[in-house]
Homo-oligomer: A and B are copies of this chain.
Amino acid sequence: MKRTTIKDIAIAVGVNPSTISRALNDHPDVSPEMKEKVKQVAEILHYVPNLTAVNLKSKKTKTIGLILPVISKFFIPNIINGITSVVNKRGYRLVILTSDDHLEKEMEHIKMCCHTQMDGIIISLTNQTKNLDHLKLATDFDIPIVVFDKTIPQRKFSTITIDDAKAAGQCVQYLIDKNCKHIVGVFGNKNLAISENRAEGMLDALLQNKNILHHLVYANNMLDAKIQIDELLKTQATIDGIFCMSDEVLTGASAALYAQEKLFSIITTSISDGELIGFRIPEIAYIKHDGEKMGVVAANQLFTEIENEGKSDPVFLQLETEFID
**Interfacial residues, chain A to chain B (CB-CB below 8 A):** 1, 3, 46, 48-53, 55-56, 61, 63, 71-74, 76-77, 80-81, 84-85, 88, 93-98, 111-112, 114-117, 140-142, 222-223, 226, 251-252, 254-255, 258, 263, 275-276, 278-279, 281
Contact = CB atoms under 8 A, between A and B. Distances in A.
B279 A115 contact: no
Given A95-B93, A96-B84, A281-B258, A117 B51 contact: yes
A135 to B, nearest CB: 14
A73 B73 contact: yes
Contacts of A76: 77
Contact of A98 (B74, B84, B141): B84
Contacts of A222: 275, 279
Q: Which 3 A-B pairs have the closest CB atoms?
A: A255-B279, A73-B73, A48-B115
B1 A140 contact: yes
A55 B52 CA distance: 7
Given A56-B56, A77-B72, A281-B281, A50 B117 contact: yes
A55 B263 CA distance: 57
A255 B275 CA distance: 12
A254 B275 contact: no
A275 B73 contact: yes
Contacts of A258: 279, 281
A276 B251 CA distance: 8
A141 B80 contact: no
A189 to B, nearest CB: 19
Given A73-B275, A254-B279, 7 more contacts: A1-B140, A48-B111, A71-B80, A73-B77, A84-B97, A95-B95, A255-B279
A77 B71 contact: yes
Contact of A141 (B1, B55, B140, B263): B1
Given A71-B80, A77-B72, A281-B263, A95 B94 contact: yes
Given A77-B72, A93-B116, A279 B251 contact: yes
A48 B251 CA distance: 44
8 contacts: A49-B115, A50-B115, A51-B117, A52-B55, A73-B74, A222-B275, A223-B278, A226-B279
A97 B88 CA distance: 8
Nearest to A53: B56
A42 B179 CA distance: 66
A282 to B, nearest CB: 8
Contacts of A94: 95-96
